[in-house]
Amino acid sequence: MTIKIGILSVAHPHALSYAQALTNHSDASLIGIADADAARGIATADRFGTVYYPSTAALLNTGLDGVIVTSENARHRELVETAARAGVKAILCEKPLATTAEDARAMIAVCAAQGVRLATAFPCRYSPAFRRLREQVQSGAVGEVLAIRGTNRGSLPSAEWFTTPSLSGGGAVIDHTVHVADLNRLLLGREATEVFAETGNGFHGKDWEDTGFLTIGYEGGVFATVDTSWSRPKTYPTWGDVTLQVVGTGGVLDVDLFAQNIVHYDDTAGRIAWSNWGSGTDAGLVADFLRLAAGEEADDLATGEDGLRALQVALAAYRSAELGQPVAVMIND
């Protein structure tokens, strides 16, 4: 069985990794790419040996099983709702699910009404290191969990829309908080209740935040901290990191999700780089999404509701930074 998938916009750089994963998968066919930016869309379609479609409607009319939405964050709702009403079976939407809780809820509701399965792209769930950490925590290896320290520190994204709040929803906080918030929720099995956050722009000095530090309270008194930033310089060996430290009554576990790499001294590029040789998290994410599009179960895949919960932590962080005090995570806002 060949599962027919289309990509709606390649504005987000993760689109390239997802397209490669689709190309590599024996059961998938990348039918085409639709993008409002014709030059970008054509170049990406040519790169992966597929067809460029000048409109979303034209691609959706090809009878797709599923679509991957990798547009600017503010366009997620429009594209997800259009695809859901066009009759696809499943949609994988890049994180953050939306830029507002209202948009995220609307996307979830439309997909539910149309019988479409909505998933949020959280590839870190597929890291073998994280899966082993989760097994250890759930087995009681560290006793009762008291706190989690997380980081998601990266370099400044190359696509300009990331620093245009009307398209991105913010800066580093909305971009990087959601990954760690989702992992924390999986580890703890609890909802976030409160966030205290401080943000700054000291690295790049622009009118969007490039730095954020969050303290998140969870049901039962557990707390977590997250360093979410675009703090890595251009010369840094890799794009950034995702790390977790779980502190419990019986021990401490540390995980670096991208530690499997070799050091590459690249004279051509004039820099030193870390080249990852470990398991590809995006490939696991896409493989699970293909199961969803085929009508099968994919229990590890983040749902639209999971995407909403992670988004709400980021939105609470912005409210907290503005008010200068802890704020409740508004589950029902």
pLDDT in tens, the chain (333 residues): 799 999 999 999 999 999 999 999 999 999 999 999 999 999 999 999 999 999 999 999 999 999 999 999 999 999 999 999 999 999 999 999 999 999 999 999 999 999 999 999 999 999 999 999 999 999 999 999 999 999 999 999 999 999 999 999 999 999 999 999 999 999 999 999 999 999 999 999 999 999 999 999 999 999 999 999 999 998 899 889 999 999 999 999 999 999 988 999 999 988 899 988 877 799 999 999 999 999 999 999 999 999 999 999 999 999 999 999 999 998 776
C-alpha span between 236 and 46 (Å, rounded)? 30
Please indicate, yes or no, whether residues 133 and 111 belong to a single structural domain of this protein: no
40-44: Cβ within 8 A, 24+ apart = 40/10, 40/11, 41/10, 44/10, 44/15, 44/16, 44/19
In a domain, 306, yes or no: no
Nearest-5° Cα angle at 55, 49 to 57 = 105
In a domain, 119, yes or no: yes
User: Which domain does 149 fall in, by range?
Assistant: 125-279+311-328
Burial class (CB in 10 A: 0-12, 13-18, 19+), 317: buried
Q: What integer pLDDT is reported at residue 311 of this predicted model?
A: 98
Please indicate, yes or no, whether residues 59 and 49 belong to a single structural domain of this protein: yes
What SS3 class is residue 295?
Answer: coil
In a domain, 182, yes or no: yes
In a domain, 134, yes or no: yes
In a domain, 143, yes or no: yes
Paired residues of 8 in beta bridges: 34, 69
Q: Domains in the chain: how many in total?
A: 2
Please indicate, yes or no, whether residues 176 and 315 belong to a single structural domain of this protein: yes
What CATH number is attached to the domain comprising 216?
A: 3.30.360.10
In a domain, 333, yes or no: no
C-alpha span between 53 and 32 (Å, rounded)? 7
Q: What integer pLDDT is reported at residue 80 of this predicted model?
A: 98
Q: What integer pLDDT is reported at residue 333 of this predicted model?
A: 60
CB 127 within 8 A of CB 187: no
Global pTM reads 0.96
Please indicate, yes or no, whether residues 259 and 295 belong to a single structural domain of this protein: no
C-alpha span between 33 and 56 (Å, rounded)? 9
Helix (H) or strand (E) holding 184: helix 172-188
C-alpha span between 119 and 121 (Å, rounded)? 7
Please indicate, yes or no, whether residues 77 and 115 belong to a single structural domain of this protein: yes
For 53, other C-beta atoms within 10 Å of its C-beta total 22
Please indicate, yes or no, whether residues 208 and 172 belong to a single structural domain of this protein: yes
**Structural Rg of the chain based on CA atoms:** 19
